[in-house]
Structure 1
Amino acid sequence: MKYSLCADIMFVAVGEKGPVWPDTDGIIEGMKLAKKNGLTGIEMFDLEGRDLDRIAAAGKELGIEIRACVSAGASLLGDPAKTGELVSLFTQSVPKAKQIGCSRLILNAADYAKDLSAEKVLAAMEDALKRLAPIAEKEGVTVLVEPLTGGFFTSSKQAFGLIKNVGSEHVKLLYDMFHFQNIEGQITETIKANLELIGDLHGAGAPMRAELTVGELDYAFILNTVKELGYEGNFCLEFFTFENRDEKVAASCKVLPA
């Protein structure tokens, strides 16, 4: 298994008008923090507004991979009126992701069409993902669909069913254990039943999105189970911390299987 750190979450600050996400320097600091703790990658949010050449160079210098990033238009998945815009924005994001050596782009459906039935939203998602799949295959990238706490998806069955219906090796689910603990629980059994459909794993202490050693999830047990299943993909630490960052990352890394 490979381990990564979400640089955006790790270095977000609180401003007068809400969160202040890190700039290019913050992303590079995330790389340095990952390397310091023996992690071999990071994940990041937006590609826009950041110096991608500097990020790519820093990754090579530090030996840190950028394993996933958020596609432009990520929130539009599930809105049939905006599927064309999503496809266009995703297509524009692919070369930018490749510029930093990243081959997996995240869609989160945060702005799905809330005035439509669940069936129609799922149909819109399936249509969009079937349009994105051949683009992803041609470009050698993977689309990751990430269900969020309080978002559209209400069960893993619903989410994995969508991925099965799309039927592409280039469209996978980003299974975030923090979010799915809030949505339904049953983390290890769900992973066991759907491992082949998972393209990335995220984790944070639940329900408060803290470090891995805090909350109701036993990450040592979960991750050892995942390792025994033969999972060789990525697990990303994605938790908030506004103080004692180094100590909390170091403590979290101690529960990661070797």
Structure 2
Amino acid sequence: MTELQLAACSEMVFTDLPILDRVKRIDELGFAVEIWSWHDKDLQALARTGATFSSMTGYLHGDLVDRDGAEEVVRTAELSIKAAETLGVPRLNLHTAELVDGQAARPRYRTTGDMWLTAGRALERIGDLGAAANVTFCVENLNTIVDHPGVPLARAKDTLALVEAVAHPNVKMMLDLYHAQIGEGNLVELVRRCGDAIGEIQVADVPGRCEPGTGEIHYPAIARALREIGFSGTVGLEAWASGDSTVALERFRQAFS
């Protein structure tokens, strides 16, 4: 049976603890650790925890879909690579638009051909940066219905189209199944369709964005689909704990074991 590496987002569990203690607790429970922003954290202190870090945000500012914004994404992606080296992070997460408190910094509700071309060209450059540093940049799909209105090229079918068009080994999808369920559904077939384009999987249940078993998604079926396509990478719990964080992580483990 194909083994999956399981990770947990330190921004969303054990939230009563300081970030360093969250990381230590996640590591003690046998999970890799995801973080979001890196610029506001003591990276050296995080490294000293000895935890395995699976992913973090790979840019600071900018939008992939316009030329000036794309330049800023590329510039801050270089900075993120340097930060990733401190923690040994193999995957850096990108969004098609900059998020401020979860909302699009510059909302766009119509997509143009120029946006597609601009994003694709920027991702080619970012992929080359990743190849030189031996890291993979992953473009995350988002939902625009509940959490992230105004983000262009946000759906999984859009991020997949971008990744396949760029066709760079260091540009993959951060396939977020919570967002995909809200925006698109048909998750098992989506996993099969994305296949080799997947860099990492992120999960939470719907509604509520809590751990598997609290909503409508049958995650054991997702686990089977991932194994059927030969996926042996990381599945990250990017979810709030519905109650006790340790119990939430155990439910996550059970869903993917």
TM over 0.5: yes
- Provide Cα deviations, 1:89-140, integer angstroms capped at 9, x if missing partner: 1111111111111121111123366276332222221111011111111111
Q: Does 1:134 align with 2:128?
A: yes
More displaced, 28-37 or 45-54? 28-37
Q: Equivalent residue for 1:5?
A: 8
Mapped to 2, the partners of 1:74 and 1:146 lie a distance apart of 15
More displaced, 166-175 or 133-142? 133-142
Mapped to 1, the partners of 2:238 and 2:227 lie a distance apart of 19
Paired letter, 1:136: G
Q: How much has 1:80 moved relative to structure 2?
A: 2.0
Q: How much has 1:205 moved relative to structure 2?
A: 0.5
Q: Does 1:70 align with 2:61?
A: no
Q: Verify the 8 A CA contact 2:34 2:54 in the aligned structure 1.
A: yes
Q: Equivalent residue for 2:176?
A: 176
Mapped to 2, the partners of 1:137 and 1:184 lie a distance apart of 31
Paired letter, 2:173: L
Relative to structure 1, the CA distance from residue 9 to residue 247 in structure 2 (aligned partners, 3 Å threshold; closer, same or farther) is same
More displaced, 239-248 or 127-136? 239-248
Q: Which runs of 4+ in 1 moved over 4 A?
A: none
Q: Does 1:156 align with 2:148?
A: no
Q: Equivalent residue for 1:17?
A: none
Q: Equivalent residue for 2:27?
A: 35
Q: How much has 1:163 moved relative to structure 2?
A: 0.5
Mapping for residues 208-247 of structure 1, pairs under 5 Å: 208-241=208-241, 243-247=243-247
Name stretches of at least 5 consecutive residues in structure 2 with no aligned partner.
99-105, 145-150
RMSD of equivalent CA atoms: 2.1
Identical counterparts, % of pairs: 22
Correspondence for 2:140 among 143, 146, 153:
146
Q: Equivalent residue for 2:187?
A: 187
Name stretches of at least 5 consecutive residues in structure 1 with no aligned partner.
14-21
Relative to structure 1, the CA distance from residue 137 to residue 33 in structure 2 (aligned partners, 3 Å threshold; closer, same or farther) is same
Q: Equivalent residue for 2:102?
A: none
Q: Does 1:114 align with 2:108?
A: yes
Paired letter, 1:78: V
Relative to structure 1, the CA distance from residue 121 to residue 99 in structure 2 (aligned partners, 3 Å threshold; closer, same or farther) is same
**TM-score w.r.t. structure 2 length?**
0.86
1:68 counterpart SS class: strand
Relative to structure 1, the CA distance from residue 113 to residue 139 in structure 2 (aligned partners, 3 Å threshold; closer, same or farther) is farther
Q: How many residues align?
A: 241
Relative to structure 1, the CA distance from residue 220 to residue 199 in structure 2 (aligned partners, 3 Å threshold; closer, same or farther) is same
Q: How much has 1:79 moved relative to structure 2?
A: 2.6
- Provide Cα deviations, 1:53-104, integer angstroms capped at 9, x if missing partner: 111110x2xxx31010002336522232212111111111111111111121
Paired letter, 2:25: L
Q: Equivalent residue for 1:51?
A: 42
Q: Does 1:248 align with 2:248?
A: yes
